[in-house]
Amino acid sequence: MKDDSRFIFIFLDGVGLNDGVETNPFAAAACRYLPFHMPEPLLPDGTPVTPLDARLGVEGIPQSASGQGTLYTGINIPARWGHRGSYPGLALRKLLYRDNLIKNLMDMGLTAGFLNAYPHYAPVFQPPHLELMPDGTFRFSSDFPRRFQRRLSTTTCMMLSSGLKPRDERDIVRGDALYQDFSNESLIRLGLDVPEFTPEQAAGIIADTALSHDFLLYEFFQTDLYAHRRKFHECVELAARLDRLVGLLIERMDPARDTLVITSDHGNMEDCSSSSHTLNPVPLVAWGRLGPELRTRIHSLADVTPTLLSILKPSCGRGTMDSPSQRL
């Protein structure tokens, strides 16, 4: 890739495709950049949204750990262990330790960044307080909060195995990171001294940070939480804010140079007729320079990581590691 190009990967937890408009917040919000309610969804510039198979040939309802594990390793996790819960178990953690998208990109000499901040808890989400061992077990210090010990996500495992240092609230204040709730409203309610970000500000942080990385990942899981816990009108408001963020981000990017990828692990918020996950396919938004090739080669969650590694491998990276403050 060119030194000034961007490759941005946004993960939206719990979002599928559903052309039934009555229960779909993306339809009620008239989303243009996340048109997950159209029979043949297109972005305003005509970029098609590709449906991806999240069921992976396995009976049952897709779940977060197995879906994300498949997404970030390229291995069909449900075919091995079934559709599995919210957080990766021992066997999946062992796999993530040695094989995941972020680790593989960094091993190829590319600068891969994880934009998410861990406000207040960043000091303990790294060694020596938290370590992912080769056998998939966690090693905790006495200072690591017990309430988090069974709630460690797939992306946290990737961060640990790749040696990335978690960003914190100071990075949020500097505009170098985003919380998984990009607005910071939930942090402010908890009393943290952080600014409230508009979609415009969040889009700017993503776009600007991506300039110093070959690959930048941002994870947003409020979509899944809202679908499980919130009322329909709140889901509509969230869809509208997300749609605005993505539209503003695309305005900051050059389709001849940059690439934006958006996908999910399973359906949920696209159908608010229930609070459960759905059997719907998940969207692949692949916009920009590499979009056509990505859309041609990716058909299921298991295709995402192998395709990205194949496409990015010949690229000339900016260095062998992230910035010194972000790599352990």
Q: What is the mean pLDDT of each run of 10 residues along the chain (328 residues)?
A: 78 96 95 97 98 96 96 97 94 97 95 96 97 98 96 96 96 96 94 95 98 97 94 97 98 97 97 94 98 97 97 57 36
Number of Cβ within 10 Å of residue 86's Cβ equals: 15
What pLDDT, on a 0 to 100 scale, did the predictor assign at position 314?
56
- State how far the Cα of 70 lies from the Cα of 64, in Å rounded to an integer: 10
Please state the domain extents for the chain: 7-312
* Residue 174: partners with Cβ closer than 8 Å, 6 or more residues away: none
Over residues 189-236, the pLDDT tens digits come to 999 999 999 999 999 999 999 999 999 999 999 999 999 989 999 999
Q: Give tens-digit pLDDT for 282-317.
A: 999 999 999 999 999 999 999 999 999 999 985 444
Least Cα distance to 190 among 125, 142, 121, 116 occurs for 121
Q: CB-based contacts of 149: which residues, under 8 Å, 6+ apart?
A: 138, 140
Residue 110, C-beta contacts closer than 8 angstroms, at least 6 positions apart: 214, 215, 312, 315, 317, 318
Task: Identify the pLDDT of residue 3.
Answer: 54
Query: What is the number of other CB atoms lying within 10 angstroms of the CB of residue 136?
Result: 18
Q: Which residues pair with 9 in a beta bridge?
A: 217, 261
Q: Are 224 and 268 in contact (CB under 8 A)?
A: yes
Distance of CA 240 to the CA centre of its chain: 18
CATH number, span 7-312: 3.40.720.10
